[in-house]
């Protein structure tokens, strides 16, 4: 369920110099959507914002944004609240249309990967994908760098679902990926260990496959069979 408007409070005001403050009080879902909505409003207003500071505790968050030009705070606030008031599916459709999520420029090509792809090529692809997306989890990267056994496989979603039990996924991101799958857009393979079917990368894509009712998901599997 999308947060009710009266459960969410948004304030946007001018601070010193070229800085502005965005304050949110409300739900975790609402807080998770803030960065995407900021980017959407940036595009609509033709501005560029850089986050200079952030504080969050419980239902409250405050972030300082620096703009490359003066902002009409009333216009920004109106546009922000309009997007914030959309349903989850509506907001996801806007994010998908603006290509804020999904395959991006700079990611290594994956459409040609299959069972015949060599272990070295799969390892190289995985490291390049991590680099392109700024994934810097030390344990996950170490698993890629230390291993030499890589295979491309279609793995049943049910076999991987235990990875979602104690993890948090942004509902907006999952819904965008679900809509992409619904529109037959291919998503990058997940990366997992064969031992315990431990997922290293791709939690949101896994959740999207589950919600889309897809039985199998492409994976790069690391380790012995």
- What's the pLDDT score for residue 105? 80
pLDDT at 63 over 70: yes
What are the structure tokens assigned to 189, written together?
A: 């393979």
Q: Is residue 208 classed as helix, strand or coil in its secondary structure?
A: helix
pLDDT at 4 over 80: no
The structure tokens 């076999």 sit at 159
- What's the pLDDT score for residue 6? 53
**Residues of each domain in the chain carrying CATH 3.30.70:** 5-85
DSSP 77-99: HHHHHHHHTS-HHHHHHHHHHTT
pLDDT at 7 over 80: no
What is the mean predicted confidence (pLDDT) over 206-213? 97
Q: Look at 5 and 212; give whichever has higher pLDDT.
A: 212
- What's the pLDDT score for residue 224? 81
What is the mean predicted confidence (pLDDT) over 33-48? 95
Report the number of secondary-structure helices (H) and strands (E) in the chain: 8, 8
- Of 87, 96, 92, 60, nearest to 3 by C-alpha is 87
In tens, the pLDDT along 178-197 reads 999 999 999 999 999 999 99
- What's the pLDDT score for residue 5? 47
pLDDT above 70 as % of the chain: 97
pTM of the model: 0.89
- Answer for the pair 39, 94: CB distance below 8 angstroms, yes or no: no
Q: Look at 166 and 208; give whichever has higher pLDDT.
A: 208
pLDDT bracket for residue 16 (50, 70, 90): confident
pLDDT at 3 over 80: no
Cβ partners under 8 Å of residue 174, min gap 6: 204, 207, 208, 211
> In CATH, what number does 5-85 get?
3.30.70
Q: Look at 149 and 28; give whichever has higher pLDDT.
A: 149
**Residues of each domain in the chain carrying CATH 3.90.1530.10:** 119-222
* CATH class (in words) of the domain with range 119-222: alpha beta
In tens, the pLDDT along 100-123 reads 988 778 899 999 999 999 999 999
- Of 223, 201, 78, nearest to 141 by C-alpha is 201
């Amino acid at each position: 369920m999308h947060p009710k408007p009266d459960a969410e409070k948004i304030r946007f005001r001018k601070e010193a110099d070229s800085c502005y403050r965005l304050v949110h009080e409300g739900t975790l879902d609402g807080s998770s959507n803030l960065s995407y909505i900021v980017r959407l409003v940036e595009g609509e207003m033709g501005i560029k914002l850089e986050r200079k500071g952030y504080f969050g505790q419980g239902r409250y968050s405050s972030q300082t944004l620096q703009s490359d030009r003066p902002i009409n705070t009333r216009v920004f606030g109106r546009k922000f609240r309009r997007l914030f008031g959309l349903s989850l599916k509506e907001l996801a459709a806007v994010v998908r249309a603006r290509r804020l999520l999904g395959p991006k420029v700079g990611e290594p090509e994956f459409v040609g990967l299959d069972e015949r792809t060599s272990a070295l090529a799969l390892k190289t692809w995985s490291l390049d994908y991590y680099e392109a997306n700024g994934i810097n989890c030390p344990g996950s990267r170490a698993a890629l760098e230390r291993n030499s056994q890589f295979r491309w496989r279609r793995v049943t979603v049910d076999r991987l679902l235990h990875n979602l039990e104690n993890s948090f996924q942004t509902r907006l991101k999952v819904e965008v990926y679900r809509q992409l799958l619904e529109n037959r857009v291919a998503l990058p393979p997940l990366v997992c260990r064969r031992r315990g079917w431990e997922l290293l990368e791709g939690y949101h894509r896994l959740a999207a496959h589950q919600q889309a009712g897809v039985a199998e998901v492409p994976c790069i599997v690391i380790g012995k069979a």
